């Protein structure tokens, strides 16, 4: 459905996207993960024809975005990072304008089509209001509604849940999940759990380069969060530390100091594939040092990249 080959984009000397290739199959939800400034938005902007690539090719449903822009663009619904909203229009006027602009052809009448989409993204109650007076969450949803006009085959959503409250985030995720039944979706985010919740396949991009391209399940295994824990133990700091280090398969122990009176915090990291929790509990109980808390540390994006680039098994990285 979507094919990207050796895509490169330079802004002057700065390389924003560096020789990125991937393809997306019909009906797939592809997650596009990377920190801010990684080149996610640039890639999406090229894919939608807003920017031109310095080198390489992008094809949507067989149409090259440079050679057949009009045909390719008809297949795409795009929600840019900042939703492209005219503040001086009401939601209804805006959607009607976008409907005409996109030269939408659907079975239903214009009115019914817009109503259906408004119901879908739950903005029916603000349709008569000026866009500038809407909250950020509603603006974002109007942006999504705009992308959905005409039931495009491909949906490209650049950080669609930014600015929404937790309840709305879950709603939008569910919505995107449901949409994938009839659309091919590319979704970008800098939040790993979001990508994990929604996507079948994940592409990780950092500094313009493709770092990983894998199924969500595989990636999650590789990035297993069970490896690292933050624990609090009541007991003498130095002794606890040396005991922790003596646990087999323990890779690293860092002491974070006293957090409560007599209670010390440690970050412990086990070898890949090892579950040290049993051993940890037994040993602490044996010494009568109460375990006050145990939680797995979330991996930051930096950790993810470190982990993904540690071995080159998954390609992409030179």
Partner 1 sequence: MQAIFRRELQAYFKSPLGYIYLAILFFFGGQFLVIQISGYRTNEISSIFASLFTILLFTMPILTMRLMSEDKRLKTDQALLTAPVSLNGIVWGKFLAAFTLFLIAISSTVVYFFVMASMATPQWNMFFGNLVGIILLGASLISIGMFISSLTESQMVAAIGGFAAMFFIFMIDSIAEMIPIDWLSSAMSKLSFMTRYNDFTSGILNFSHMLFYISVVVVFNFLTMRILEKKRWS
Structure tokens at 2: 């979507």
Which residue among 52, 182, 215, 218 contacts partner 1 (CB under 8 A)?
A: 52
Quick check: 56 binds partner 1 (CB under 8 A)?
no
Q: 204 and 304 in contact (C-beta within 8 Å)?
A: yes
Which residue among 56, 80, 163, 236 contacts partner 1 (CB under 8 A)?
A: 80
Quick check: 102 binds partner 1 (CB under 8 A)?
yes
| C-beta of 70 vs 288, nearer to partner 1 | 70
Q: What is the nearest approach in angstroms of partner 1 to the Cβ of residue 42?
A: 12
Quick check: 222 binds partner 1 (CB under 8 A)?
no
Q: 27 and 153 in contact (C-beta within 8 Å)?
A: no
Q: How many CB atoms lie within 10 A of CB 217?
A: 12
Quick check: 87 binds partner 1 (CB under 8 A)?
yes
Nearest to 83 by CA among 172, 166, 14, 143: 143
* Alpha helices, H only, 199-318: 216-222, 237-246, 277-286, 301-310
| C-beta of 144 vs 243, nearer to partner 1 | 144
| Range 145-164, binding partner 1 (CB under 8 A) | 146
Name the segment binding partner 1 (CB under 8 A); options: 15-23, 48-56, 281-289, 307-315. Answer: 48-56
| Range 8-37, binding partner 1 (CB under 8 A) | 11
Q: What is the nearest approach in angstroms of partner 1 to the Cβ of residue 202?
A: 24
Q: What is the largest CA-CA distance in the chain?
A: 74
Quick check: 67 binds partner 1 (CB under 8 A)?
no
Q: 6 and 17 in contact (C-beta within 8 Å)?
A: no
- Return all residues near 217 (Cβ < 8 A) that are at least 6 apart: none
- What DSSP state is assigned to residue 200? S
Instruction: Give the span between the Cα atoms of 39 and 9, in whole angstroms.
Output: 9
Which residue among 23, 37, 67, 101 contacts partner 1 (CB under 8 A)?
A: 101
Quick check: 73 binds partner 1 (CB under 8 A)?
yes
- Whole-number Cα distances in Å, 287 to 234, 265, 267: 11, 17, 19
| C-beta of 57 vs 307, nearer to partner 1 | 57
Instruction: Give the span between the Cα atoms of 112 and 107, in whole angstroms.
Output: 10
Quick check: 49 binds partner 1 (CB under 8 A)?
yes
Name the segment binding partner 1 (CB under 8 A); options: 32-40, 67-75, 281-289, 304-312. Answer: 67-75
Which residue among 86, 108, 215, 287 contacts partner 1 (CB under 8 A)?
A: 86
| C-beta of 6 vs 174, nearer to partner 1 | 6
Name the segment binding partner 1 (CB under 8 A); options: 79-87, 167-175, 247-255, 298-306. Answer: 79-87
Instruction: Give the span between the Cα atoms of 98 and 114, in whole angstroms.
Output: 10
Quick check: 190 binds partner 1 (CB under 8 A)?
no
Exposure b/e, 20-42, CB count within 10 A at least 16 = b: bebebeeebbbbbbbbeebbbbb
- Interface residues with partner 1 (CB under 8 A)? 11, 45, 48-52, 69-71, 73-74, 76, 78, 80, 82, 84-89, 93, 97-98, 100-103, 146
């Amino acid at each position: 459905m979507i094919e990207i080959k050796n895509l490169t984009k330079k802004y002057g000397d700065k390389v924003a996207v560096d020789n990125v290739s991937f393809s997306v199959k019909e009906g797939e939800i592809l997650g596009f993960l990377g920190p801010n400034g990684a080149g996610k938005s640039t890639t999406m902007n090229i894919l939608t024809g807003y920017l031109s690539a310095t080198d390489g090719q992008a094809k949507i449903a067989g149409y090259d975005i440079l050679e057949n822009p009009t045909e390719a663009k008809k297949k795409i619904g795009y929600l840019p990072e900042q939703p492209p909203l005219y503040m001086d229009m009401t939601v209804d006027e805006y959607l009607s304008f976008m409907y005409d602009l996109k030269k939408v052809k659907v079975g239903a009448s214009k009115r019914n089509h817009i109503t259906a989409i408004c119901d879908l993204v739950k903005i029916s109650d603000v349709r008569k209001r000026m866009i500038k007076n809407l909250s950020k969450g509603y603006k974002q949803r109007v942006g999504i509604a705009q992308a959905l006009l005409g039931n495009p085959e491909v949906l490209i959503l650049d950080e669609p849940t930014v600015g929404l409250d937790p309840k709305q985030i879950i709603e939008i995720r569910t919505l995107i999940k449901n949409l994938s039944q009839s659309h091919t979706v590319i979704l970008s985010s800098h939040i790993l759990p979001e990508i994990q919740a929604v996507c079948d396949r994940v592409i990780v991009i950092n500094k313009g380069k493709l770092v990983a391209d894998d199924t969500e399940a595989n990636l999650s295994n590789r990035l297993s969060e069970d490896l690292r824990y933050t624990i609090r133990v009541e007991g003498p700091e130095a002794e606890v530390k040396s005991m922790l280090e003596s646990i087999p398969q323990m890779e690293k122990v860092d002491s974070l100091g006293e957090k409560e009176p007599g209670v010390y915090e440690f970050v412990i990291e086990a070898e890949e594939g090892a579950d040290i929790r049993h051993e940890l509990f037994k040993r602490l109980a044996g010494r009568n040092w109460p375990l006050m808390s145990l939680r797995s540390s979330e991996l930051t994006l930096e950790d993810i990249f470190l982990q993904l680039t540690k071995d080159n098994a998954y390609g992409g990285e030179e």
